[in-house]
Structure 1
Amino acid sequence: MATRPRRDTRAFDTELLVALAGQVVVLLTLTLTVGVGSAGWLACCVFAAVVGFLLAIGAPARRAAAAGSANRVTLARATLVGGVTALVADQIADEMAGLPDRPVRAVVMLVIASVALALDLADGYVARRTDSVSELGARFDMELDSLLVLVLSVLASRSLGLWVLAIGLARYLFIAAMAIWPQLKGELPFSRARKVVAATQGVVMIAAVAPFVPRPLAAAAVAVALTTLVWSFGRDAVYLLRRRPD
């Protein structure tokens, strides 16, 4: 029985290495097509290094359980999020340097971000169909969603204002609050409303950074999304803080 976890762990590590190689391919492709500069390379490499490190140091049993088709889909999503990170960093660097915008870069970024968001449905479906649902896979999937929203919120804040960062930072502020109120680490009951609100954030942020969406409309959409997000986190926080310990 001891040999199976080791083999499965090696499978997970192999999938991770392939994904890291795929990240390099994505970055090289973007460089050759839209001209990603040093800022984009740095941001993407930091993203890949952090994600790879956090996955690699996971408990062996959790990594073994996560290996499989669903994990490969999620890792593919990660390479796309890394590509979006590179394009966003590259665009911000150009803006700060006073360089002209490149519309092709914005279109490519929107396409990649949309595909990454759409694949969020695929990895869960694959996990259920292949009976490969795992704790690490679910957590990784959720954190990728949060990272994508954070990266897009950084770009959107350039034109809409720093208040937009509240959407990208909301989850991380909630995690930080756990250090003050350990009750927030408790398990939450299933909520369809929570899932809808979470899914909406990515869609709204993609629309918010689209150059063809009027800024007033983008600002209004982000404001509504932020309101629902604050409501969702607030409701969960109240539930956890009021719940009596077992």
Structure 2
Amino acid sequence: MALNNTYDARLVQQETAVGAGVQILLLALLGSAIGLGPAGWLTGVAFAVATWAVLSRALHRTRPRSFGPANRVTLGRATLVGGVTALVADSFESAPPVTVFVGLTAVALILDGVDGKVARRTGTSTPLGARFDMEVDAFLILVLSVYVSTRLGPWVLLIGGMRYAFVAAARVLPWLNAPLPPSTARKTVAALQGVLLLLAASGCLPFWATCAVTSIALAALVWSFGRDVLWLRGTSRTVADGVGRGRADEVALMLELTREPVAS
């Protein structure tokens, strides 16, 4: 058992350290190529440290036998998201080159469809990998919504904040934590968020078209979350009603068994 713990500790140090190192290297490349400012550097380094810390803790808790090829793809995608985050933070002082911004974001979005396929083909799908992939997706959408909001207004932040609002609500309403059935529509809407936000952030559309594209993204997301919330609520009520009927039947049976016989 001790040998397994030593292996896991070494695994965590190697995999997460490489990820943090590549993130710093990407920031250095961006700094030399486009002159990344202090805000971009600080944000990028903070992202690298946070990713390293959270991922290390998750690996220590789950203790996987190996990090896995799919998680390496997701870690590479997280590195690109860190670069996009640094560019967005720097954009408040100077706009980043469109080609660099769009290029990093586009590759990160394309790789979103790769890590899942790698996990299935190699038989390395794990709850940790799925959660890691989901968190990287959610943070990229949040960062893109922040960038687009600087042009269209704060209402765009609803797109990036909706998933985090759902998680916060689930802490107060436990029925939101119930597992959802697989849904192609949900996956499609989630994938469209990044594509539509990138299109809006690219600056290649006129203002009215940028507003329309972003509004479509928000409307689709509200529909998707709303449908899931209604399903979860309906399921929770069905379970509660079933439990209530079961308890009522038990009480009725107990009363029947304890009732005194009536004299004939």
The TM-score, its normalising length taken from structure 1, stands at 0.91
- Conservation of the 8 A alpha-carbon contact between 2:26 and 2:83: yes
Query: Greater RCO between the two (CA within 8 Å, min separation 6)?
Result: 1
**1:139-158 equivalent positions in 2, closer than 5 A:** 139-158=131-150
How far apart, in 2, do the equivalents of 1:217 and 1:93 lie? Answer: 26
Deviation string 1:147-169 (CA, Å, 9 cap, x unpaired) is 01100110100111111010000
Cα 1:74–1:9 change in 2 (3 A) is farther
**1:52-71 equivalent positions in 2, closer than 5 A:** 52-58=52-58, 60=60, 62-64=62-64, 67-71=67-71
- Conservation of the 8 A alpha-carbon contact between 1:153 and 1:165: yes
Deviation string 1:11-61 (CA, Å, 9 cap, x unpaired) is 243111101000010000000001101000111112122222111112535
Equivalent residues, number: 238
Residue in 2 that maps onto 1:23: 23
1:124 aligns with 2:83: no
- State the identity as a percent: 46
- Structure 1 stretches of 4+ with a deviation exceeding 4 A read none
How far apart, in 2, do the equivalents of 1:2 and 1:130 lie? Answer: 28
RMSD: 1.7
> Which structure 2 segments of 5+ residues have no match?
244-264
What residue identity is the alignment partner of 2:18?
A: V
Deviation string 1:197-222 (CA, Å, 9 cap, x unpaired) is 00000001101100222221111011
How far apart, in 2, do the equivalents of 1:63 and 1:148 lie? Answer: 27
Deviation string 1:69-97 (CA, Å, 9 cap, x unpaired) is 11111110011000000111111123xxx
1:110 aligns with 2:102: yes
How far apart, in 2, do the equivalents of 1:59 and 1:116 lie? Answer: 23
3-state secondary structure, aligned to 2:92 = helix
What residue identity is the alignment partner of 1:131?
A: G
Equivalent position to 1:183, from 165, 171, 175: 175
Q: CA deviation at 1:106?
A: 2.1
Residue in 2 that maps onto 1:79: 79
1:7 aligns with 2:7: yes
- Conservation of the 8 A alpha-carbon contact between 1:47 and 1:82: yes
Cα 1:113–1:65 change in 2 (3 A) is farther
1:49 aligns with 2:49: yes
- Conservation of the 8 A alpha-carbon contact between 2:12 and 2:59: no
- Conservation of the 8 A alpha-carbon contact between 1:184 and 1:237: yes
How far apart, in 2, do the equivalents of 1:150 and 1:24 lie? Answer: 21
Cα 1:231–1:199 change in 2 (3 A) is same
How far apart, in 2, do the equivalents of 1:66 and 1:234 lie? Answer: 38
My pick for the range that moved more, 26-35 or 229-238, is 229-238
Residue in 2 that maps onto 1:33: 33
- Conservation of the 8 A alpha-carbon contact between 1:62 and 1:135: no
The TM-score, its normalising length taken from structure 2, stands at 0.85
How far apart, in 2, do the equivalents of 1:6 and 1:22 lie? Answer: 24
Q: State the structure with more CA Rg.
A: 2
Deviation string 1:163-191 (CA, Å, 9 cap, x unpaired) is 10100001000011112211101100000
